Amino acid sequence: MPIKQGWLEGARRVPSPNCDERPDGEVSLLLLHSISLPPGEFGGEHIERLFTNCLDPADHPFFAEIAHLRVSAHLLIRRDGECVQFVPFHGRAWHAGRSRWCDGLRERTSLNDFAIGIELEGDEVSPYRLAQYLALARVTADLLAVYPMLEETRITSHARVAPLRKSDPGLAFDWAFFRQRLARGAMLDQPQA
């Protein structure tokens, strides 16, 4: 799925108003999240409604707590592997909140300035689906090819950058399997000797 002008080809576009320009244009971190709305339930339009400021607080008691939030992500990967894009990758989506990242040289805050946020439809206890891992590996490979400052060592979880506040994508996310799929995809792209 190539990326053209910041948009993933083949992804369904649902533009979010919750974004702006990156101050320095830097893209050097991939941040993985999980989301389910209502909590623990999958499917439906509630995530898209949250990211487009259209979530009705009367639809579920939990929505009254979050409907006022102005948040987004660059991409949502649904349980069946469908990709829904809200913000072009070169834009700044509002997904990281109060977070910190140490790149080995310095500690940084304001992660939205340089991070791409990908939401996996899920929660921290339900296993993620094969279709999600495959889609995430494909998208990640494309992002690594397009953004030279983004490296495999710069892929992390919301839990690692906001450990006292967040725990997603949780223990249900299989990092080893994701990295295996990512490496396998990269190997398939190599010319045969």
39, part of any domain: yes
Output the CA torsion 133→136→141→147 (10° steps).
Answer: -160
Residues with catalytic roles: 119
What's phi and psi for 32, nearest 5 deg?
Answer: -100, 135
- Per-residue pLDDT at 6 exceeds 50: yes
Burial of 121 (0-12, 13-18, 19+ CB in 10 A): buried
Domain that holds residue 151: 3-188
CATH number of residue 116's parent domain: 3.40.80.10
Q: What is the pLDDT of residue 34?
A: 98
**Terminal C-alpha separation, the chain:** 25
Take residue 9 and report the two structure tokens written for it: 């080809």
116, part of any domain: yes
- Per-residue pLDDT at 190 exceeds 90: no
70, part of any domain: yes
50, part of any domain: yes
142, part of any domain: yes
List, for residues 45-54, the tens digit of each pLDDT value.
Answer: 999 999 999 9
Q: What is the pLDDT of residue 126?
A: 96
193, part of any domain: no
Neighbouring C-alpha atoms within 13 Å toward the C-beta of 145 = 15
Say if pTM beats, i.e. exceeds, 0.85: yes
List, for residues 89-148, the tens digit of each pLDDT value.
Answer: 999 999 999 999 998 888 999 999 999 999 999 999 999 999 999 999 999 999 999 999
The answer for 72, left when phi > 0, alpha when psi is -120 to 50, beta otherwise, is beta
107, part of any domain: yes
Q: What is the pLDDT of residue 104?
A: 80
Q: How many domains does the chain have?
A: 1
17, part of any domain: yes
